[in-house]
Chain A
Amino acid sequence: DAKTTQPTSMDCAEGRAANLPCNHSTISGNEYVYWYRQIHSQGPQYIIHGLKNNETNEMASLIITEDRKSSTLILPHATLRDTAVYYCIVRVPYNQGGKLIFGQGTELSVKP
């Protein structure tokens, strides 16, 4: 399974874009990149996922480099409620059970 590397913590000013990086240099061709977040010990919440192309939804944008060895999650206008631990996860193939392997994540603090 591909491993991911994320910074331990980051700060962001309220209203500014939060850019959370993730390295996954050993990712294989059929593995997707998923982002989840966990707010104050609640159950993790899905944000976005992608394979090769950049993706955008109502919560965030995901930028994946052309070689797929790294990606960036972008929260365009961070609010205080976005303070959470953000997990970048590489998904094993679904025929292996679709497991998500969680790492330590990035603790994002959005400040007024």
Chain B
Amino acid sequence: NAGVTQTPKFRVLKTGQSMTLLCAQDMNHEYMYWYRQDPGMGLRLIHYSVGEGTTAKGEVPDGYNVSRLKKQNFLLGLESAAPSQTSVYFCASGRVSLETQYFGPGTRLLVL
């Protein structure tokens, strides 16, 4: 099993450009999450999903949209990137029960 994978690993955007980050998991987990991590800080939850076709807002949802069309995929979209969105983005997945979350390797995004 690959676990949780993220695409791309690194990306540079110009202000105002759009992009989509892809998260895929092969563990048949119901829950999926998107976090961002800024230098020297802990992770902050952007959006999450408790099942296919569902999404919900986390701590810092502004400027992002998400979709969960398939159980194994969770997409994070930036419609109009801003320098404040420069960060490392982590995806995670987990089971419905009180199980652990499994994290991907991260996507490093630089917005100029």
Contacts and interface: CB of A to CB of B under 8 A. Distances in A.
A46 B102 contact: yes
A107 to B, nearest CB: 10
A43 B100 contact: no
B31 to A, nearest CB: 6
Q: Chain A interface: which size bin?
A: 20 to 34
Contact of A43 (B31, B94, B96, B106): B106
Interface stretch (B13-21, B42-50, B70-78): B42-50
A34 B92 CA distance: 15
Interface of B: 4, 31, 33, 35, 41-45, 48, 50, 56, 58-59, 88, 90, 92, 94, 96-98, 100-106
| Main secondary structure on B side of the interface with A | strand
A43 B44 contact: no
Contacts of A105: 42
A101 interface: yes
Interface string A95-109: 001111111110000
13 contacts: A41-B88, A43-B92, A44-B90, A44-B103, A45-B103, A46-B100, A98-B50, A98-B96, A98-B101, A99-B33, A101-B45, A102-B44, A104-B42
A97 B31 contact: yes
Contact of B103 (A32, A43, A94): A43
A99 B42 contact: no
A91 interface: yes
Most buried by B among A87, A94, A98, A102: A98
Nearest to B56: A97
Contacts of A68: none
A102 B90 CA distance: 13
